[in-house]
Amino acid sequence: MSRDSIRVTYRIETAGDPQAMAQKIASDQSTGTFTELAGETAAVKARCAARVEAVEPLPDIATPSIPQPGATGPVRRADAVISYPLEAVGTDIAALMTIAIGGVYAARGLSGIRVMDIELPEAFACHPGPQFGIAGSRKLMGVAKGPMIASIIKPSLGLLPQETAAVVKTLCEAGVDFIKDDEKLMSPGYSPLDSRVAAIMPVIRDHEQKTGKRVMYAFGISSADPDVMMRNHDRVVAAGGNAAVVNINSIGHGGMSFLRKRSALCLHAHRNGWDILTRHPGLGMEFRAYQKIWRLLGVDQFQINGIRAKYWEPDESFVKSFHDVMTPIFSDADRPLPVVCSGQWGGQAVETYERTGRTLDLMYLGGGGIHGHPMGPAAGVRAIRQAWQAAEAGESLAAKARDHPELAASLAKWGAG
């Protein structure tokens, strides 16, 4: 790849010629389709025009993703790689999203298009990237090795601030490394952020005084107004907090950039809304492309679902997402901590360990898998740790459960794993 170009891979679906369609996209998204405009020269086009580098045919499909009036016959597909000159785009994320991504969905003649990947030149290393990432998250939680075990406070519980603090106390005593507000828990009337911070942080500090263990609590600070979000950030910092949940699609690229440049908190990214972009296989964007932008903007921890998640996403998608966030863009420092979540209770630990490359550099987040354990939350945490010990030792969960009653109770309640 040229050091001065941005390469984007698009999965094209059309009734026409994929090569011609790729050329049309390259033209539409760079120099345009008009000719003989005032001041237009061959030199300008040569410098600014996007170029089709490759078109790799894929098997035809019978039905288009978007119905095309009058179209008959099979739908042709291909992966097209188009390079955009850095001089024409620059390193601004808004320009990148507008030129290389946003406009392509409007092209005439397509029955589907999906952004598969973005390869960025080193000029994009001007963006800050994670402030803490994997190593910094470990340091803040005091976890030198092994997975970081986490839990969550759900708004469906309807807890008032002091009731939330009581649950946090239980989770701290249970031995978690991290607790977070659910993404929907920002500043509702029954539990305003300032009241929640005031109730929870004394519990975190008291537990640290007693045990030497500082549990990381990530408060939901998201707001569409960057100034409000920063005031929320400052409330957490002033109370001694060190982490925040950020709903990245809701605050947008500009909001994330604004926050990261001023943040003293470890930023835990929730990607709610990503499914809109990716759930239809013929449209939208692969996580591989999507996550690079948010990493450059500075997320420290990235939720990516998990094995046998409670949502629609298949296991293969999670595995790809895990490897995507663990692959450096420019250096190891730009890797966020992957957060394995969504219906995790420990039964998925062995498969997660094997399919993610036998790494322990992850956060494993259990909600009901901790709160709903039949022997209580402390047993839920122990059961998850026992499951990960089994994974690391190459032992089956059933074998581990023979002399570990907490794991045995999990297996009896939620399945054989």
Cα 384 from Cα 398, distance rounded (Å): 13
pLDDT tens for the chain, 417 residues: list them: 457 999 999 999 999 999 999 999 999 998 775 555 555 666 767 778 999 999 999 999 988 888 877 666 789 999 999 999 999 999 999 999 999 999 999 999 999 999 999 999 999 999 999 999 999 999 999 999 999 999 998 766 689 999 999 999 999 999 999 999 999 999 999 999 999 999 999 999 999 999 999 999 999 999 999 999 999 999 999 999 999 999 999 999 999 999 999 999 999 999 999 999 999 999 999 999 999 999 999 999 999 999 999 999 999 999 999 999 999 999 999 999 999 999 999 999 999 999 999 999 999 999 999 999 999 999 999 999 999 999 999 999 999 999 999 999 999 999 865
pLDDT of residue 316: 97
Residue 23, amino acid = Q
Q: Which CATH superfamily is domain 5-126 in?
A: RuBisCO large subunit, N-terminal domain (3.30.70.150)
Q: 294 — alpha (psi -120 to 50), left (phi > 0) or beta?
A: alpha
Domain boundaries, the chain: 5-126, 133-414
pLDDT score for 410: 97
Q: What is the pLDDT of residue 37?
A: 55
Given this model, what pLDDT does residue 33 score? 57
Inter-CA distances, 265 with 141, 184, 216, 235, 262, Å: 13, 19, 11, 11, 9
User: Which contacts qualify for 274-277: CB closer than 8 Å, 24 or more apart?
Assistant: 274/249, 275/311, 275/312, 275/313
d(CA 352, CA 338): 12
Residues 94, 95, 99, 100, CA torsion sign: negative
Q: Write down the pLDDT at residue 66.
A: 84
Domain boundaries 133-414, corresponding CATH code: 3.20.20.110
pLDDT at 216: 98
Find out whether 215 and 239 touch, Cβ atoms under 8 Å. Answer: no
What letter represents residue 289's amino acid?
A: A
